[in-house]
Amino acid sequence: MMFRKPCVHTKMARLIALVALCGVLVLQVQLVFTVCSVTKRQRRQLQTMCRGWADPNWNWGSPVGEAHDLAMQVRARLSSEEIRRAWLSDVVDGTVDVEDIKLALGLRIQHAARQGMDGNGAGWQLMQDMAACKYEGQDGVSKLQADLENLASKLPAAEAETRTEGDALGLSAARALTGMGFIEGGC
């Protein structure tokens, strides 16, 4: 009988079992396993999550840093009205990562504020709060959703976004983005 070399997943499973028995580093090993088996879309989401607003290399507003690099990618991905409409639909459905939503919001708010379309400074304040990491941590999403509702209430009614069912954060983000001219003007 020939013995086959164990596959990577079998080796990883054995390692996880061994570490679990020892009670050490389980979380780190699972993270390594997860990062090794992600799809391209998940890898992009992990990239944004791992290089988010609280990261010292983020440098929001600077022409250098992680934020600038990811902003260029987001702008390229959301390059047409048709794509932005479809993306907003995904936002409402809850299938877009919150970090991607925050990045698109920050970019749109920068443009909207210069055009006087950010709800008399409410958008600018929300962007400053993102940069100050107000929306990070356990209750960050609920704080962001509440502040997005406040922002949306100060913007012209978004005719393009009439759905009332969906992800709460997604609905609020879509209303705010639409009210600031995201569909027409992009990021």
pLDDT of residue 71: 80
Checking if the pLDDT of 18 tops 90, the result is no
Residues 6+ apart with CB under 8 A from 33: 12, 16
Q: Is the pLDDT of residue 23 over 60?
A: no
Does residue 109 surpass a pLDDT of 80? yes
pLDDT higher than 80, residue 21: no
Is residue 178 over pLDDT 90? yes
Q: Rounded to an integer, what distance in angstroms lies between the CA atom of residue 186 and that of residue 117? A: 13
Provide φ and ψ at 184, rounded to 5°.
-80, -40
Q: Is the pLDDT of residue 81 over 90?
A: yes
Reported as a single tens digit per residue, the pLDDT across 133-149 is: 899 888 999 999 999 99
Question: Tokens for 50?
Answer: 């791992």
Query: Which of 138, 115, 112 lies closest to 125 in space, CA to CA?
Result: 112
% of the chain beyond a pLDDT of 90? 47
Tens of pLDDT, residue by residue over 117-129, are: 999 999 999 999 9
Beta strands in the chain (DSSP E): none
Tell me, what's the pLDDT at 41?
55
Judge contact between 186 and 75, C-beta under 8 A: yes
Helices 122-131 and 140-153: crossing angle, nearest 10°? 160
Higher pLDDT, 88 or 32: 88
For residue 111, CA distances in Å to 124, 170, 182 come to: 10, 21, 9
Lowest mean pLDDT, pick from 1-5, 24-28, 53-57, 126-130: 24-28
Q: Which of 89, 112, 104 is nearest to 161 (CA)?
A: 89
118 or 17, which is more confident? 118
The pLDDT confidence band at residue 44, using thresholds 50, 70 and 90, is: low
pLDDT band at 58 (very low <50, low <70, confident <90, very high): low
> Lowest mean pLDDT: which of 93-97, 129-133, 142-146?
129-133
In angstroms, the CA 169 to CA 167 distance is 6
